[in-house]
A = this chain, B = another copy of it.
Amino acid sequence: MVPHLITALTGPINELEQRVIDSMPATERWFRLEWMEHTPPFYTSVDIRNAGFKLAPVDTNLFPGGWNNLTPEMLPLAVQAAMAAIEKICPEARNLLIIPENHTRNSFYLSNLAQLQRIFNMAGLNVRIGSVSPDVKKSTVIELPHGESLTLEPVVRTRGRLGLKHFDPCTILLNNDLSAGAPGILEDLHQQYLLPPLHAGWTVRRKSTHFRSYEEVAKRFGKVLGIDPWLINPLFGKCSDVDYSTQQGLDAVQVQVDAVLGKVRRKYKEYGIKEKPFVVVKADNGTYGMGVMTVRDPKDLEALNRKTRNKLAVVKDGQLVHDVIVQEGVLTQERLNGAVAEPVVYMMDRYVVGGFYRMHPDRGVDENLNAPGAAFVPLAFDQSTHMPQLGARPGASAPNRFYMYGVVARLAMLAASYELEATNPDAEIYD
């Protein structure tokens, strides 16, 4: 059932794994205390890269799709975590409304919605799916593979509350990352919980803000573990006012690329790493694997042709790129059936509930795998992240490896929690 997994089983990552396993009680206590002060995002997925010598999150998604890739074995954990989440937010809840992405033709995405509906239904809620897309004008039943079906309904706003015809939800779950901006219909809701909040959408979110929070989290957690935070933190720089089409600001990007490459080179030297450093230039407001470019040499930026530049200039839902983040590239040294793979960890409330490998047969170890052609292989994260094997030889135990992934994913989730606090437009109310 679990496919053959080839990972680099030597090098500093094993020392890191050993530290993480040895520090488990301290780590769990540290998270418990953090969650007393900070609210976890409602649900989160984190893409992780294991370079064999370092391990780092490269993307933190606050509107995770892909729940359909979780195995049936992982569902009970997701249901239990959903129960805990709902209980905290609205114990009286009867009804939950899920607001999906507007592009709803993709059957994988629709299966993701069906899975979310199942999870929250099993947690004891009546769950319906209401679209904010102007194209959805009436209730539509969509048949899915494996005999499932999904009913997509148009949302209705009545007296300040959002719902469906004859369906008034207590909680509204966004599975729409709001790349195109928050529609007015979602604003100023009357006594309804909208989760995640509007400012978690990509009109407000910036990768650079997230990774600045993550850097802080990594430094603090590094002290708990007694490690160099670089082992879990990707270095980065930010450039504003970039226009790929006119090439405006690309010289500043070049300077940043050079600076980040220099820092990485020094770290590689310090650790005796023979790999060639690279960076990944990403849209600061980007998601969905769009607007992403691997750069090995600052000169590469001079050689971009018009087609490539046009492609980089626009991200999801046609949003233009103005700012970019230049992030240390983290190799992925994991392979499944010969294809390059990276783990994606899923969390509900503060709990790791599952995960899978994203693999791409046509991409290299230094490339973005979130691209058409990617495949997903669920792995038994359910057991693994909770069940580290104390005393196992470093690098030899899959559960220990996955526990470590769960820790790093939770660090990224905590960074997202800091980030959402810092960007909360209503924050002054609580001061």
Q: Which residues of A contact B (CB under 8 A)?
A: 24-29, 31-33, 35-36, 72-73, 75-77, 79-81, 83-84, 86-87, 91-94, 121-126, 351, 382-383, 385-388, 390
**Which of B26, B29, B122 meets A386, CB within 8 Å?**
B122
Chain B positions within 8 Å of A122 at CB level: 24, 386-388
Complex Cα distance A84/B351, Å?
9
| A contact face: mostly helix, strand, loop, or mixed | helix
Known: A25-B94, A29-B92, A36-B91. A387 touches B76 (CB 8 A): yes
Q: Is the CB of B79 within 8 A of A126?
A: no
Q: Knowing A84-B84, A351-B83 touch, does A29 contact B94 (C-beta < 8 A)?
A: yes
Assembly CA distance A93 to B32 (angstroms): 9
Bound complex: CA of A33 vs CA of B387, how far in Å? 32
Q: Do A32 and B124 have beta carbons less than 8 Å apart?
A: yes
For A81, list chain B residues within 8 Å (CB): 80
Q: What residues on B are CB-neighbors of A32 within 8 Å?
A: 83, 86-87, 91-93, 124
Q: Are A123 and B28 in contact (CB under 8 A)?
A: yes
List of B residues within 8 angstroms of A388 by Cβ: 122
**Residue in B closest to A351 when the chains form the complex, CB atoms:** B80
Q: Is the CB of B75 within 8 A of A387?
A: yes
**Whole-angstrom CA separation of A123 from B123 in the bound complex:** 22
Bound-state Cα–Cα, A7 to B285, Å? 57
Alpha-carbon distance between A80 and B26 when the two chains are bound, in angstroms: 17
Complex CA–CA separation, A126 to B29 (angstroms)? 10
Assess whether B36 is in contact with A383, with CB atoms less than 8 Å apart: no
- A297 and B256 CA atoms in complex are apart in Å by 90
B386/A93 in contact, CB under 8 A: no
Contact with A79, one of B31, B72, B87, B387 (Cβ below 8 angstroms):
B387
A80 B83 Cβ-Cβ under 8 A:
no
Chain B residues within an 8 Å CB radius of A77: 76-77, 80
Contact yes or no, B35 A386, CB < 8 A: no
Q: A29-B94, A383-B75 are in contact. Are A124 and B24 (CB under 8 A)?
A: yes
Residues A383 and B124 in contact, CB atoms below 8 Å apart: no
Q: Given that A32-B91, A75-B383, A91-B33 are known contacts, is A124 also in contact with B27, CB under 8 Å in the complex? A: yes
Given contact pairs A80-B81, A84-B84, A386-B80, A126 touches B25 in the complex (Cβ within 8 A):
yes
Of B29, B83, B385, which is within 8 A of A28 by CB?
Answer: B83
- A54: min CB distance to chain B, Å: 24
Contacts of A83 in B (CB 8 A): 28, 32, 351
Question: Which residues from B are CB-within-8-Å of A80?
Answer: 77, 80-81, 351, 386
Closest Cβ of chain B to A225, distance in Å, is 14
**Structural contact, A76 and B123, CB atoms closer than 8 A:** no
Q: Cα distance A77–B385 when bound, in Å? A: 11
**A353 → chain B closest CB, angstroms:** 8
13 contacts between A and B (CB under 8 A): A24-B124, A25-B94, A29-B124, A32-B87, A33-B92, A36-B91, A76-B383, A76-B386, A77-B77, A77-B80, A79-B387, A80-B351, A80-B386
Q: Which one, B36, B73, B124, B386, contacts A25 given CB within 8 A?
A: B124
Query: In angstroms, how far is the closest chain B Cβ from the Cβ of A70?
Result: 12
Tell me the minimal C-beta distance from A221 to chain B in angstroms: 14
Shortest Cβ distance from A403 into chain B, in angstroms? 9
Chain B residues near A79 (CB-CB < 8 A): 386-387
Structural contact, A386 and B75, CB atoms closer than 8 A: yes
Whole-angstrom distance between the Cβ of A176 and the nearest chain B Cβ: 24
A241 to chain B, nearest CB (A): 45
6 more CB-based (< 8 A) A-B contacts, given A33-B92, A75-B383: A24-B124, A32-B86, A72-B383, A84-B84, A122-B387, A122-B388
